[in-house]
Structure 1
Amino acid sequence: AARGFAERPALRLLGTLPRHPNRLAGLWFSPAGRTLASSEADTGLLRLWDVASQEPLGEPLTSAHVAFLSVAFGPDGTWFATGGGDRAEFWRMPSPRPDGEALGAPDHAVDAFEAVVLSPDGTTLATGGPALTYGQDIAEVRLWDVASRTQLGRTLTGHGGGVEKLAFGPEGATLAVGGSVEGDGVVRVWDVASRAPVSEPLTGHQGGVGEMAFSPDGATLAVSAYVGEGVVRFWDPATGVRRGEPLTGHSGGVRSLAYSGDGTALVTLGAQVERGLRFWDAETHEERSEPVAMEQYFDQSAFSADGLTLATHEDEVIRLWAIE
């Protein structure tokens, strides 16, 4: 059964991963939370880690073509896709090796693969980024059939300023697209089959979209902002209508968020000045327990899909935490 958070959640350090002296592009968990990927933005190195043992899985992955700026795991955790620059590539685990041909963008889409995400069943890959299209700063999102490596239908356009976040709904029928920090801070929700907008754009995320998470039943989309008081807003993705009041407990934006596996609560990690973990009732949006303080400033962080494992990077070290 899917798990929720304890009545009074606590944070336990699981372990630390060997030093990462370079700036990270990001951290990503596999769907079951058993594997963590970490990518160095400057060196282009991608490392895979076993979460339970904190041991590396195989040798670091390098590419002669691009830095790995995003990672998306397949549903069974045995393969993954990477995005960066002008291509998306596919890899088989545990010792990463290429898995079929890469995806390439049309010549005019310079950075069309900086964000990648896989549908829950692993059949569809969505890609986006701050692509310059014919000299205009208009980002494009593409949907690809993983098996045939071909684009599915038309390109999704109208994402002003760039695309930074992508999230499939739990059934894979919808795709949420979040604008970049430099962009309009708007989330657009698309119907995957028809490639048509599901609702009006979701607005009001100051400073750009931080993170997005669908509730396990797909009825709610939580969206965090980088600045402002109402730093997490809740939406009905089918109608574009706000659901309840925003979360206002974090004073300096929200870096990461996740729903509990049972969908009854969500956890948020503050950014900047206020760096605590807060736990919220998914229905009432009220705090469920006292915040859990975290002392360090994180340049990267990520939750597992069920919100029970947290990875943070600061001071050249990746730490893994259990929320229990």
Structure 2
Amino acid sequence: MTIMCRLLAFFLLAFTLLLPLGYAQDYITWGLPEGAKARFGKGAINSLKLSPDETRLAVGSATGIWLYDMNTGAELALLTGHIDSVGPVSFSSDGRTLASGSYGEIFLWDLETQRILKTLKGHKGWVGNLGILEDSETLVSTSSDGTVRFWDVQSGRQLKTFKAYPRGLGGFLASIRDGEVTAASFCLEKQFFALGYPDGTIRLKDARTCRVTKTINGHKGHVAGLTISPDGQTLVSDINGDKTRLWDIATGKSLQTFPEAFSFFGGALLFTPDGKTLIIVGGLSRKNKVEFWDVDTVSVRAAIKRDIGKIRALTSPADCKTLVTGSSDGTVRLWDVATGAQLKVIASGHNSQFTHLAFSPNGAMLAAGADTTVRIWDTRTGTHLFTSRHLETAVQGSETFGITTPIGQILKLVFSTDSTKLYSVNSFLSKGSRVLPNGERVYGEIRSWDIGTGDSENAELIRDVSVLPLTEEIGEGAYITVGVKLENGIKKDRTYTSPGLAEFASDRRMFACKGRAALHLWDATTGNVRLTLKDPGGIKALAFTSDGKTLASAGGWRENTIRFWDTTTGEQISHITTTKHSQWIHALRWTFGLATSWSEALAFSPDGKILASGSDNGRIQLWEARTMRKLFTLKGHTDYVKALNFSPDGEMLASSGAEGKILLWQANTGKRLGTLKGHGGWIKELAFSPNGQTLASASEDGLVFLWDVNRFIRP
């Protein structure tokens, strides 16, 4: 039976490859940037909003604004054009106009024509909240620049602007006294807003005059969350280290105190439209738990018990009986407020990020992973090949299927040479390492997934067939925040996280994995360590030559050196010093946030003659591997170069980094061939298709693009 199933899968795949190219879901090609031929994934969810008649749902995402049919979950439209990721969205009361906010701009959309009516500019930061008043004539917006602005919807003219602090010396002294605003909530109809501060103080301000109308004291701790009830009479405050409270806005007195603190970081607060139920999403310390609280009795009515990842957005329909959530697992779901039960999945594919990529050697499949989840697409149709109903993240009818690995972070993905298996190397965080029944501690795993098994009625594309424990300690990598300037000019803080580092040899039989104090070479078939190499510390990148005989490793903040290792003996063959800084100067520059020229990415050309290294200062260096001689220095990136990949024929080099653009280079001359733009976040990995005609890119914005690089190939 198994042989017959494999034959059936083979013939189905062969038949698919003979079909003309065409994507089964049209939305995969909606609103693509120049040079892209498909988009896998829809972008991380930032906001949700229901149309007044509740037939449509708008999702603000890293891609743009997705419009869904609430009944069927069908994609209706994708609105693109913002300079960056879309934040808040809001419908007019007649449902004909949609407002969307991003960095420094607000768009007004005609939903019938799907065109931009007006562009509103004035904010100098991220637009945080948007609302079109009931008359559909006035728009109110708040921003990270500390301003509240009123706009005329018809003309796009700015009517008035108010700052969190008044102008003049008084406002300056008030800003020093109060400190940073840590939480805010706006009441559109009554035109006032609440601001929270680090010392626990809450101030209510009139939006028309920006004067303080009331000051609420009584908390001890950082104000982390605020929300105002729909009728404008009640305020909820969540404080780090203190219990959540309800306040009477008219008197400033405490009405109720919740029985516990919710440690708000990463959470959310939302009233149902009738104000009778408060929806509380706990932060990290509460594992993103969602609870429905009765406001009158301050007791829990129900809770969502299913783990769906971090809640990124909420909206409540007018009937107050249901809740719509958007979460980091990429789904938009509808819940019963009374019971906490899931009613349906409205949409899927809105992954928070992708960090790893792998093409199958036959080019028919593309795997993308992030955190503990792997997704696979058919590269010709954009659809899943089979439905995997038993997998936790699988969604029936979606364009992808998911594999949830019950372990730590994914470090690397690779298909077997015959495209029948997918391998993933995964690491535990040190506190998350587990102990096997024999007492052996597991610090990571290599998992093997079987491709193309199953029967015709209940087919499974992927089946977990083996798990090999990795018992040597795997390093957790760096967890720091760096400020980067994107290609569109916007400055953002990027969390530089790496749960570890792994790289496969081209034959898939061996992989290298960075430990805390050593560099291990593992046998992929047995899970045993073959060699342990001396690790100078701070390794940031690894690369094998195509024959697997040499491994290159690049040091981090403690070094500016690339080392070459013999994978048979474990001996260091040679090294390259990438900069002239001493280790002390190198470390000093890193301490003060200056570019250190440390290598963040490595890649060998297919013939092993050229090594490319990318650094934190945005420069790429090409080295002759045999002589260690520098061939070229490639300039074009403005910040961290995090991904490098040569085309299969070795003629083209692709590079990407923190600013969200991809540069294509001619490998033998160092000439820039072209630039690909479209991502709104840090591009974490690049992969060429086996025929070299397609480049895939994975980013923290939750998108995977397939780029047509044919036009850059010399005839």
Q: How does 1:274-313 map to 2 (within 5 A)?
A: 275-287=660-672, 289=673, 291-305=674-688, 306=692, 308-313=694-699
Amino acid at match of 1:246: T
User: In structure 2, what residue type is equivalent to 1:195?
Assistant: G
Q: Which residue number in structure 1 is paired with residue 469 of structure 2?
A: 103
Deviation at 1:212, TM superposition (A): 1.5
2:602 is aligned to 212
Instruction: Give me the whole-angstrom Cα distance separating, in 1, the residues matched to 2:663 and 2:644.
Output: 10
Give the whole-Å Cα distance in 2 for the aligned partners of 1:264 and 1:84.
34
Question: Aligned pair in 2 of structure 1 residues 98, 319: CA closer, same or farther (>3 Å)?
Answer: same
Task: Find the aligned partners of 2:622 and 2:425 in 1 and give their Cα distance.
Answer: 29
Show the counterpart of 1:84: 427
1:257–1:266 Cα contact (<8 Å) kept: yes
- Who is 1:27 aligned against? 357
Give the deviation of 1:232 after TM superposition: 0.8
One of 247, 256, 264 as aligned partner of 2:643: 256
TM-score, with normalisation over the residues of structure 2? 0.38
**Identical positions, percent:** 24
Distance 2:666 2:355 in 1: 31
Aligned partners of 2:523 and 2:555: how far apart in 1? 24
Change (3 A) 1:238 1:30: farther
Check conservation: 1:29, 1:302, Cα contact below 8 A.
no
Post-superposition shift, 1:68?
Answer: 2.0
Q: Which residue of 1 aligns with 2:620?
A: 232
Moved more, 83-92 or 69-78: 69-78
SS of equivalent to 1:298: coil
Distance 1:278 1:71 in 2: 23
Query: Which runs of 5 or more residues in structure 2 are unaligned?
Result: 1-33, 43-348, 389-400, 429-442, 452-460, 478-498, 580-594, 711-715
Name the stretch that deviates more: 80-89 or 202-211.
202-211
Q: Name the TM-score, length of structure 1 as normaliser.
A: 0.78
Paired residue for 1:322? 708
Q: CA deviation at 1:194?
A: 1.2
Q: Give the deviation of 1:222 after TM superposition.
A: 0.5
CA offset at residue 109 of structure 1? 4.9
Check 1:245–1:320 CA distance in 2 against 1; reply closer, same or farther (3 A cut): closer
* Shift in CA distance, 98/188, structure 1 to aligned 2, threshold 3 Å: farther
CA deviations on 1:112-133 (whole Å, 9 max, x unpaired) are 983222211222122125x2xx
Contact 1:74 1:118 in 2 (8 A): no
SS of 2:606 mapped into structure 1: coil
Distance 1:266 1:307 in 2: 13
Report SS of the residue matched to 1:37.
strand
Contact 2:661 2:683 in 1 (8 A): no
Tell me if the contact between 2:354 and 2:684 (Cα under 8 Å) persists in the aligned partners.
no
Is 2:36 aligned against 1:12?
A: yes
Structure 1 residues 316 and 218: CA distance shift in structure 2, 3 A: closer
Map of 1:144 onto structure 2: 522
Partner of residue 406, structure 2: 64
- Preserved contact between residue 407 and residue 426 of structure 2 (Cα < 8 Å): no
How many residues matched? 294
Q: Which letter maps to 1:237?
A: A
Residues 276, 46 of structure 1: alpha-carbon distance in 2 compared, 3 angstrom cutoff = closer
Deviations 1:150-182 (A, max 9, x none): 221x31122312x343221011111112335x5
Change (3 A) 1:15 1:251: closer
**Corresponding residue number in structure 2 for 1:7:** none
Q: Is contact 2:543–2:551 with CA below 8 Å preserved after alignment?
A: yes
User: Which secondary structure state, in structure 2, belongs to the residue aligned with residue 61 of structure 1?
Assistant: strand
Identify the residue that residue 5 of structure 1 maps to in structure 2. none
Aligned partners of 1:25 and 1:70 also within 8 Å? no
Higher relative contact order (CA 8 A, sep 6+): 1
Inter-CA distance 266–64: structure 2 relative to 1 (3 Å threshold): closer
Partner AA of 1:62 in structure 2: T
Structure having the larger proportion of residues in helix: 2
Indicate how the Cα distance of structure 1 residues 146 and 203 shifts in structure 2: closer, same or farther if over 3 A, else same. Answer: same
Q: Which amino acid aligns with 1:220?
A: I
Task: Measure, in 2, the Cα distance between the counterparts of 1:209 and 1:141.
Answer: 17
Task: Verify the 8 A CA contact 1:224 1:232 in the aligned structure 2.
Answer: yes
Closer, same or farther: CA 251–143 of 1 in aligned 2, 3 Å: same
Q: 1:49: which partner in 2?
A: 377
Match of 1:194 in 2: 569
Shift of 1:31: 4.6
Partner AA of 1:284 in structure 2: T
SS in 2 for 1:155: strand
Q: Is the 8 A contact 2:501 2:541 kept in 1?
A: yes
1:3-56 deviations in Å (ceiling 9; x for gaps): xxxxxxx72322333533424443343455443332233xx2222222222223
Correspondent of 1:155 among 528, 532, 538:
532
Report the 3-state secondary structure (helix = DSSP H, G, I; strand = E; otherwise coil) of the residue aligned with 1:304: strand
Aligned mates of 2:373, 2:663 — CA distance in 1: 32
- Change in 2 beyond 3 A, CA 1:299/1:29: farther
Q: Structure 1 CA distance, aligned partners of 2:475 and 2:615?
A: 27
Q: CA-atom RMSD, angstroms? A: 2.9
